[in-house]
Amino acid sequence: MITNAHPKIKGLELSENLPDAEVEALWGNITWLRPKDHVAKLRHFISFEFALTRLLAGWVPACPSYEWKTQIPQRLFEDMQHICRLRERLRELPGGTAEISSNPALAKFFAAIGAADSLESFLSAFYFEIKRDLLQAYQEYRDLCDPIFDAPTIYMLEGIIQEKQRQLDWATNLLQHVKFNPELFAVVSRWRDYVRQCITRIGGVANMKPAWNEKALPRSPVDTPAGPAPEKPKQDPRFKLLDRFPLNKQEDPFYATLKDIIFQNATEWQVIDPMCYIFYGVRNMPLDFFIDFSRHIWDECRHALMGLRRLRELGYDIKDFHWPHYGTRLEALEDYFAELTMVGEACSFTRKKGSIVPFLRFGDPHSAMLPEIDCVDERLHVRFGRRWLPVMFKNNKRDERPLEVLSETTRLRLAQDWTQFEGLSEEEREKIARSFAGFCMTIEFALDFTVYG
């Protein structure tokens, strides 16, 4: 008997309390994907992709090739953009705004597939076992979609599928040499077999409820993994390394001149490893931080690339310079992020922006383009720093001090360590560090923009 019937619509109960299970039974076995099915799938892919991006970042410091080191972060950025699009669609669905957490059942799986013997092994399995399976999973997901009900999801998936395919083509190109080196090929194949077994054990990359026993993971063929996050970052042997910036014309032919601005851009590959240690290692940060940070890392690669390209156009090459570089694994992740954004980047505008007109006056608009572009990116990075630094300190160091205090503390700390402050008393150091402008002036490079270089 209908007790609470709608006054005008016959058969509609106003407070129908049919248990969920009964409603589900009424739906029966349909093949359309319902919103809740999409929510489950999207959440799974986001969490799976995110775990993979962190592994990929962790392997960048293990990468000895300059070209690879400056290219991989673009893949990282693209993957974070895919996550962004998946999340955008997810948020449109009921229950889609809830926090996305990693699947604890997969933690051992990701640890296992990350611990490869070499970068070639890691990347080969990463792209040709895992990412290829993921691409297929996205294609299958798209094929399950109804062309009208799910059109926005199809549109989103189509874009991701195309880009994932391009990533696979890139990886194929990058790893060509493996198949022509029998020894390397054997080692890489052994690792790929192992990763394949791990994938089978979790029931495939698209399996949302992996019912597996982690003890049943196959035994890894690798005793001493080369990554992720190696203790000592690897560098391209073509670079002559210093633990500081050059101090004379022998170390840097453009030393103290206008063209040093170009070299400074070219040196920016030195921040890629520390930033990737942060991407891999930092905890308790929201997804949006990693989306911004992937862009930040990619931009630094672009700055390094545009600097080296211009040096080459001017007739120089890697071998003509000595390059500043950090030789160990970054441990103080939060402090480095503060130094990078609140000091390194925030203090760089005066000389970079100021170099544009001198370059133009020397009739070199091509070189002027570098600081022109650099300043646009750096403004974005300082904004990222201002947004995320307080969150990083609060979530990981229980330090709730506001941004301005964190910045000042960073300057005070550096005024104790950096050589530019040598010979100054404690009071003088503190006085300089308390002023942003005074601090930036003290650490500024001594340059002469009246000399082209």
Residues at the interface with Fe ion (CB under 5 A): 268, 300, 303, 345, 378, 381
Cα–Cα distance for residue pair 182/177, rounded to 1 Å: 10
Instruction: Report, in Å, the least distance between residue 370 CB and Fe ion.
Output: 10
The string of DSSP letters for 426-441 reads HHHHHHHHHSHHHHHH
The answer to whether the Cα torsion of 349, 419, 237, 337 is positive or negative is: negative
Question: Nearer to Fe ion by C-beta: 384 or 439?
Answer: 384
Phi and psi at residue 240, to the nearest 5°: -85, 120
Question: Nearer to Fe ion by C-beta: 156 or 330?
Answer: 330
Instruction: Report, in Å, the least distance between residue 74 CB and Fe ion.
Output: 15
C-alpha distance from residue 28 to each of 35, 38, 146, 300 (Å):
15, 18, 18, 53
Q: How many CB atoms lie within 10 A of CB 427?
A: 8
Instruction: Report, in Å, the least distance between residue 300 CB and Fe ion.
Output: 5
74: helix, coil or strand? helix
Residues 72/56, Cβ–Cβ less than 8 Å? yes
The answer to whether the bond into 228 is cis (omega within 30° of 0) is yes
What's 168-197 look like in SS3? HHHHHHHCHHHHHCHHHHHHHHHHHHHHHH
Question: Nearer to Fe ion by C-beta: 131 or 381?
Answer: 381
Question: Nearer to Fe ion by C-beta: 352 or 401?
Answer: 352
C-alpha distance from residue 177 to each of 105, 121, 183, 410 (Å):
36, 12, 11, 45
Cα–Cα distance for residue pair 48/137, rounded to 1 Å: 12
Question: Nearer to Fe ion by C-beta: 229 or 275?
Answer: 275
Question: Nearer to Fe ion by C-beta: 77 or 128?
Answer: 77
The answer to whether the Cα torsion of 242, 247, 251, 256 is positive or negative is: positive
Q: Give me the helix-helix angle, 66-91 and 272-281, nearest 10°.
A: 40
Instruction: Report, in Å, the least distance between residue 12 CB and Fe ion.
Output: 59
Question: Nearer to Fe ion by C-beta: 253 or 385?
Answer: 385
Cα–Cα distance for residue pair 264/256, rounded to 1 Å: 11
Question: Nearer to Fe ion by C-beta: 51 or 282?
Answer: 282
Helices and strands in the chain, H and E counts: 18, 2
Could you tell me which residues are beta bridge partners of residue 257? 448
Q: How far is CA 410 from the centre of its chain?
A: 24
Instruction: Report, in Å, the least distance between residue 222 CB and Fe ion.
Output: 35
Could you tell me which residues are beta bridge partners of residue 323? 241
Instruction: Report, in Å, the least distance between residue 349 CB and Fe ion.
Output: 11
Question: Nearer to Fe ion by C-beta: 269 or 449?
Answer: 269
333: left (phi over 0), alpha (psi -120 to 50) or beta: alpha
Phi and psi at residue 272, to the nearest 5°: -65, -50
Instruction: Report, in Å, the least distance between residue 299 CB and Fe ion.
Output: 6
Question: Nearer to Fe ion by C-beta: 49 or 345?
Answer: 345
Question: Nearer to Fe ion by C-beta: 87 or 381?
Answer: 381
Cα–Cα distance for residue pair 186/124, rounded to 1 Å: 12
